[in-house]
Amino acid sequence: MDTTVTTGNEENVWGGGNRPLNASYGKMMMWFFIVSDALTFSGFLASYGFSRFKFIETWPIADEVFTHVPFFHGNYPMIYVAFMTFILIMSSVTMVLAVDAGHKMKQNKVIIYMFLTIIGGAIFVGSQAWEWATFIKGDFGALETKGGRVLQFVKADTGERAAISEFSMTLEEDRVADARDTGIWFTDNESLPNYSLNEVIEGFKANPNILIRTEKINEEGEKTLLTREQSLGRLKDAVRVVEGANLIRNEYGSRLFADFFFFITGFHGFHVFSGVVINVIIFFNIILGTYERRGHYEMVEKVGLYWHFVDLVWVFVFTFFYLV
Amino acid sequence: MAHEHKLEIFRGLLKFKSNTQKIWGVLIFLSLVTAIEVVLGIIKPAFLVQTSFLGMKLLNWIFIILTLVKAYYIAWDFMHLRDEKSSLRRAIVWTPIFLVSYLVFILLFEAVYIYDIFKNGFFAWDF
């Protein structure tokens, strides 16, 4: 051990100023932030897994929930979200290229690649907003039972989903949404759905081609379809019409699914948004030549780490919300 | 701030001439993996859905493994972990891996228990 202090390099080991991990302070801190943020996201995804395993037999099937592509009608599960994933990976690539150009001190190239990265991020956030809007608006509408379970409708002849607007009757009814001055004083009522419970029930009785589909997943991995008699029996449990999804009601099935979807993709979307904002700030700094004067482009590398992390999280969100 | 890059991926099977080339190579690989995931997700091959391993469908295991593969290449090549000192890399990677596997284990174990209670206990929730 007496030989350890003889070399000149190691005199300074405990005196500060050296970099045992060969990374600058800022970069280390970015990594620490990323690790802790990764743990936060893992917490969310693990609790999603918890709720899902708890209701493993009734959980909504993602392929039936996210089926829309902007500007196209029809049933295209997975396509749009695959596009979003590709956009995010692509913007990650332009970010690495920006970092690489920064190492070589090529200011103009960094500007171009940062710009493309920002565009990619903006497209992604926009797509996510659209995805949210579609999810909130809903597809077919459903009934909710006393126990909070969701009953969906299927056409018996084709096996396709039936929207409540297709078979509901129009009845002469007075439907009033409670306001604060007429209803319970401390709460506004939920906004009225387009059809009342009675209209859906009467329409169902009048149309023998409609069957009820419950949340329960059968052995083939599909939602259980009731017979006409069972459907009429189950209809008695219904207490309200649900259209679309929010934090309290969800026409697609378990409301926890909607809660976790809003929370986790929302939290991720917020990360992407703040990533875009930070990228824009760095982008202007590059244009102004701040890093050229500083002599290195390490800031680009640091925001790059954050940006890749956002991409990394999306890879997991994509798997656990849309694939598994 | 290591300026020199390690340019080999797949344990040296593929060696790129420059860092830029490596980036595009990794992009192609990641896109390929995503494409495989999407195709499997749309087709859902019957034998993968019906076979179950450790309480989960084989298909879901494939998705999770492919996700981890993608995460590895994003972290190693896009976030430059390949070029960092191994001590930094280990501190960053093994801390979450340890904590997350622990958390996932206890939460999923508990969830399966609650599932059994809901299914077999005197408790009505599907009404």
Residue B50 has pLDDT above 70, yes or no: yes
Instruction: Tell me the three state secondary structure of residue B7.
Output: coil
What is the secondary structure of B9-23 as a DSSP string?
ETTTTEE-SSHHHHH
Residues A40 and A126 in one domain: yes
- Residue A248 is assigned to a structural domain of this protein: no
Residues A130 and A153 in one domain: no
Residues A119 and A169 in one domain: no
Residue A185, domain extent: 142-243
Residues A31 and A131 in one domain: yes
- Residue A2 is assigned to a structural domain of this protein: no
Q: Which residue among A185, A216, A243 closes a domain?
A: A243
Q: Could you tell me the residue ranges of all domains in chain B? A: 1-84, 85-127
- B30 neighbourhood in chain A, CB within 8 Å: 89
Residues A29 and A132 in one domain: yes
In sequence order, the β-bridge partners of residue A151 are: A143
Pick from A90, A134, A88: nearest CA to A251: A134
Q: Is the pLDDT higher at B12 or at A137?
A: A137
Residues A112 and A182 in one domain: no
- Residue A310 is assigned to a structural domain of this protein: yes
A17 in contact with B, Cβ within 8 Å: no
**By the 8 A CB rule, do B95 and A36 touch?**
no
- Residue A45 is assigned to a structural domain of this protein: yes
A230 in contact with B, Cβ within 8 Å: no
A161 in contact with B, Cβ within 8 Å: no
Distance CA(A187)–CA(A183), nearest Å, equals: 8
Distance CA(B1)–CA(B3), nearest Å, equals: 6
- A225-261 pLDDT, tens per residue? 999 999 999 998 999 899 999 898 899 999 999 999 9
- Residue A151 is assigned to a structural domain of this protein: yes
- Residue A292 is assigned to a structural domain of this protein: yes
Number of Cβ atoms within 10 Å of the Cβ of A154:
20
**ipTM score here?**
0.90
Residues A33 and A53 in one domain: yes
Residues A133 and A160 in one domain: no
Residues A203 and A60 in one domain: no
CA atoms within 13 A on the CB side of A33: 14
Instruction: Tell me the three state secondary structure of residue A224.
Output: strand
Q: What is the length of chain A?
A: 324
Residues A132 and A198 in one domain: no
- Residue A281 is assigned to a structural domain of this protein: yes
Task: At B38, list the tokens.
Answer: 């999407």
Q: How confident is the model at residue B2 (pLDDT cuts 50, 70, 90)?
A: very low
Q: Is the pLDDT higher at A256 or at B46?
A: A256
Domain count, chain A: 2
Q: What is the pLDDT of residue A52?
A: 93
Instruction: Tell me the three state secondary structure of residue A248.
Output: coil
Please list, in sequence order, all residues whose beta carbon lies within 8 angstroms of the beta carbon of residue A260, skipping any fewer than 6 positions away.
A44, A47, A48, A51
Instruction: Tell me the three state secondary structure of residue A15.
Output: coil
Q: Is the pLDDT higher at B51 or at A95?
A: A95
Q: What is the pLDDT of residue A184?
A: 64
Q: Which of these ranges, A236-240, B48-52, B59-63, has the smallest mean pLDDT?
A: B48-52
Q: What is the pLDDT of residue B42?
A: 86
Q: What is the pLDDT of residue B114?
A: 93
Distance CA(A93)–CA(B31), nearest Å, equals: 11
Looking at residue A219, what DSSP letter applies? T
The residue of chain A with its CA nearest to that of B29 is A89
Residues A153 and A282 in one domain: no
Q: Which residue among A243, A277, A308 closes a domain?
A: A243
Mutation target among B1, B42, B53 for the A interface, most CBs of A within 10 A? B1
**By the 8 A CB rule, do A154 and A162 touch?**
yes
**By the 8 A CB rule, do B48 and B58 touch?**
yes
Residues A193 and A206 in one domain: yes
Distance CA(A198)–CA(A200), nearest Å, equals: 5
Q: What is the pLDDT of residue A1?
A: 43
- Residue A1 is assigned to a structural domain of this protein: no
Which residues in chain A land under pLDDT 50? Answer: 1-7
Mean pLDDT of chain B: 88
- B67-122 pLDDT, tens per residue? 999 999 999 999 989 888 899 999 999 999 999 999 999 999 999 999 999 889 88
CB contact under 8 A, B1 and A23: yes
Predicted TM-score of the model (pTM) = 0.88
- B125 neighbourhood in chain A, CB within 8 Å: 147
